[in-house]
Amino acid sequence: MTAQDWIRKKRDGGELSPDEIKDFVAAVVEGGVSDAQAAAMLMAMFIRGMNRAETVALTKAMLRSGEVLDLSGVPGCKVDKHSTGGVGDKVSLVLAPLVAAAGVPVPMISGRGLGHTGGTLDKLEAVPGFSVDLAADAFARQVEREGLAIIGQSRAIAPADKILYALRDATATVECLPLICASILSKKLAEGIDALVLDVKFGRGAFMEAVDDARELGQALVDISAGMGVPATALLTDMNDPLGRAVGNALEVVETVDCLEGEGPSDLMEVTMALGVEMLAAAGMGESEEDRRGRLREALDSGRARERFDRFIAAQGGKPEALRDGARGLPHAHTVLPVHAPADAAGYIKDVDARKIGRAAMILGAGRKRDGDTIDPAVGVSDLRKRGEPVGARDVLCHLHINDDHGREEAVRLCRAAFRFVSDKPESRSMVLERLQPVTAL
């Protein structure tokens, strides 16, 4: 079949066979189809949709378009976690050493931030000397030796995804659910993992704002991962408010250290512990949820999780001494500006708009408007007041960390607008809405 045959078949509502999808992906990587033809196919997939069998075939083809890491020599069940991204989401930085300290190997390929959401790699690179680039054999050795490694996607891993993602961005097909699933899973399963836990976020600061959309994405991800032979579960977690009290790369590393020393914000630790329980369960560790929580709590309280974090930082070229004494070795902004509540504020904080806080941090230089933009690791927002906390006139709501006065006034305006107040204390709510597991036969 020619490229026109594949496009015509999907355009007319037909189901592509696994071989047709494999041939299309191979042609994309090898230059056998033009950008125009690949874009036409993406639009046909977007409009006509793809069933689960097609999406599994697409994921397999994208996965096998490049290198698949072999971690079979690493003892134990290798489990990774993936988040769909949010504001203040430094969960991976806390979770990976915590789960590794509890005895489960965690190989992780992560990404960079774009827009109002932050990236794990950007946060780690705020630590002097830290490298996110490891060759496949070094990655495997580190997972075996330290129990975890976090790296970026190399050119050899799922090269089809890089090509197709750029075309999706240019053709307004980013929101296509099967293409989202294939993009995420082709990279995660290239790690050579045995199981996967997904943190699918909903709310104002999430990629999928509506709960139903997040649920649909989460269910598709766990079903397709299962269809690929890798067991997966997903948690739907709240991203209406920023997660934790810090947004910005170095600031979030500081908060990570706080968490690993038992002083983390309750919302951040709730999500981290819930995902940790899922990862231990996926590895077959522990007899009950209570037992798994106990293992994670012991890894925290004993200091083993913090020690594992320092070892991990050092193993990838970073300087763990930069994280001591209040993390004074990390980049710091030259100006720290308080943002005050209005003069008539009284009562409690009802909520904090995560998207507005994320945009403020991005304007200050903590995030990227487009791929390739340079970020400032020192800037962002810290000391965020949280939902349910009392507030009075002119109280400090947060601090802005600023290196460039450009955008300063807009960042202050966004932060002030992010907070809403009520007279009565709002009820507490769980950060985890529900748990998803595979239900669709493939």
Burial group, residue 138, by CB count within 10 angstroms (0-12, 13-18, 19+): middle
Q: What is the pTM of this model?
A: 0.93
Query: What pLDDT does 75 receive?
Result: 94
Whole-number percent of the chain with pLDDT over 70 = 98
Fold equal for 79-325 and 335-422: no
- Summarised one tens digit per residue, pLDDT across range 401-414 is 999 888 899 999 99
Q: Left, alpha or beta for 195 (phi > 0: left; psi -120 to 50: alpha)?
A: beta
Domain locations along the chain: 3-49, 79-325, 335-422
- Summarised one tens digit per residue, pLDDT across range 25-64 is 999 999 999 999 999 999 999 999 999 999 999 999 999 9
424 has catalytic annotation:
no
187 has catalytic annotation:
yes
Catalytic residue among 23, 80, 122, 161: 161
Q: Enter the tokens of residue 251.
A: 């600031």
Dist. CA 203–CA 433, nearest whole Å: 12
Q: Which CATH number fits domain 335-422: 2.60.40.790, 2.120.10.80, 3.90.1170.30, 2.10.240.10?
A: 3.90.1170.30
183 has catalytic annotation:
yes
Q: Which CATH number fits domain 3-49: 2.60.40.10, 1.20.970.10, 3.40.50.1260, 1.10.10.10?
A: 1.20.970.10
Query: What pLDDT does 440 receive?
Result: 58
Residues 201 and 88 sit within 8 Å (Cβ to Cβ): no
Query: What pLDDT does 56 receive?
Result: 94
291 has catalytic annotation:
no
Catalytic residue among 123, 187, 292, 356: 187
154 has catalytic annotation:
no
Catalytic residue among 110, 183, 186, 382: 183
- Summarised one tens digit per residue, pLDDT across range 308-360 is 999 999 999 999 999 988 788 999 999 999 999 999 999 999 999 999 999 99
Q: At what angle do helices 52-63 and 159-171 cross, to 10 degrees?
A: 120
Catalytic residue among 168, 188, 311, 368: 168
Three-state DSSP state, 72: coil
Catalytic residue among 22, 82, 295, 399: 82
The CATH classification number of 79-325 equals 3.40.1030.10
Give the residue ranges of the chain where pLDDT is below 50. 441-442
